[in-house]
Amino acid sequence: MTIQSTAQEVTVLELDPFSDEFLNDPYEAHEQMREAGPVFWLERYQLYGVARHDEVSQVLADHETYVSSRGVGISDFAKEKPWRPPSLLLEADPPHHTKARHVVSHIMTPKVLRGLKEGFQERADELVARVAAGKDTVDGVADLAEAFPLEVFPDFIGLPKDGRENLLPYGSMVFNTFGPRNSHFERAMERGAKAQAWIMEQCQPGAPAPDGLGAKIHAAAAEAGYDEVDQAKLLRSFLSAGVDTTVHGIGNALQCLAENPEQFGYLREDPSLARAAFEETVRYSSPVQTFFRTTNKDAELAGIRIPEGSKVLMFLAAANRDPRQWEKPASFDIRRKAAGHVGFGFGVHACLGQMLARLEGECFLTALARNVGKLELAGEPVQQLNNTLRGLDSLPLRLTAA
């Protein structure tokens, strides 16, 4: 079935990209969407979709047409009240976005992050060595993928040791709310609501440790003229986006390596492949699967007219396995050049934390290469279903110490 949208007909798809079936295993549907055309119509939600690397890249790059201030979830902020005050970073456009981004970007440059590497590597080696020497069977999620980020990231921000477990349900809630009000949305809101109070407390100026990134964010924001409410919002962005994503990145990496022993072999032989292995994990598993944009004027993409006020759903994960861009896209290959994937987005809204995420991933996988001789699945991985994220609830693993 097609609809008329100027000269070209747009294929209409009935699939629900937020159904349990899709979230459990999206890959066939990704292929269907890529093959449907450069742009397609999702009937169920009455919005446009793009799933090829080319078109997803174009939408990401053209932030003046495909805007973020009307929400990067399914909800159009011009028509509906947002569920929480909009993010100054994620849900804003230039010039406001530019100012907010500048405040934060210069306190988290690659140069700053280089100073963290030694400490992160030490923590990663300690954790992985301990877990590998411990119980016969472990949970790759709770014992490794959650443990490492929950230690190093909140330490970097300057959060207290107690209460960090609140970060996970809060992040899960934020990412679920980019999708429709389905069961995942509602359940995540319930769990997240309990965590919200703790999160908001930590975001208040004066709450984070004086020498941590949180305090630096508040200070830089204050200097730029932001009031305390907005200073808190800026830190909130980090707490929302900075944990679940890296947890899933590391968890997915463990799953990929356990399921592809040859690849783990390459990593063991040459631990300097750790960073590339993490990059390939982001391409292959795309912890952040989707984001929306909204057209703020009549637009044309691949000859297809998209009227003003349309939501466009970008399937980052589908673009990351587009055969037009990647050779053997469904193969997990840590020796390929994965750069150019859109797992961290692209352009003015490209993930602010991506260099930190890469650092965490590199240190963790280096520790894994050094300390683990054999990595095997010890049971069925359990998918965590989230409207936006792809990651695991549990990953039974058997680790043999090196």
Partner 1 sequence: MPKITFVLPDGLETVLDAEPGTSVMRTAVSHGVPGIVAECGGSAMCATCHVYVETEDAERLPAVSGVEDEMLDCTASERCANSRLSCQLHVSEDITVRLPETQV
Chain residues that interact with partner 1, rule: CB under 8 A: 102, 105-106, 109-111, 279, 337, 339-342, 344-348, 350, 354-355, 358
Cβ closest to partner 1, residue 140 vs residue 343: 343
Shortest spacing between CB 350 and partner 1, in angstroms: 4
Nearest to 370 by CA among 276, 274, 295: 274
Distance CA 313, CA 48 (A): 6
Cβ closest to partner 1, residue 184 vs residue 358: 358
Question: Which stretches does DSSP call E strand in 110-163?
Answer: 137-139
Shortest spacing between CB 276 and partner 1, in angstroms: 10
Shortest spacing between CB 105 and partner 1, in angstroms: 7
Shortest spacing between CB 340 and partner 1, in angstroms: 5
Cβ closest to partner 1, residue 30 vs residue 101: 101
Distance CA 273, CA 275 (A): 6
Nearest to 343 by CA among 254, 387, 279, 388: 279
Cβ closest to partner 1, residue 70 vs residue 283: 283
CB 240 within 8 A of CB 195: no
Distance CA 365, CA 264 (A): 10
Shortest spacing between CB 183 and partner 1, in angstroms: 35
Cβ closest to partner 1, residue 23 vs residue 369: 369
CB 34 within 8 A of CB 51: yes
Shortest spacing between CB 94 and partner 1, in angstroms: 12
Cβ closest to partner 1, residue 143 vs residue 279: 279
Nearest to 140 by CA among 377, 387, 388: 377
Distance CA 313, CA 41 (A): 10
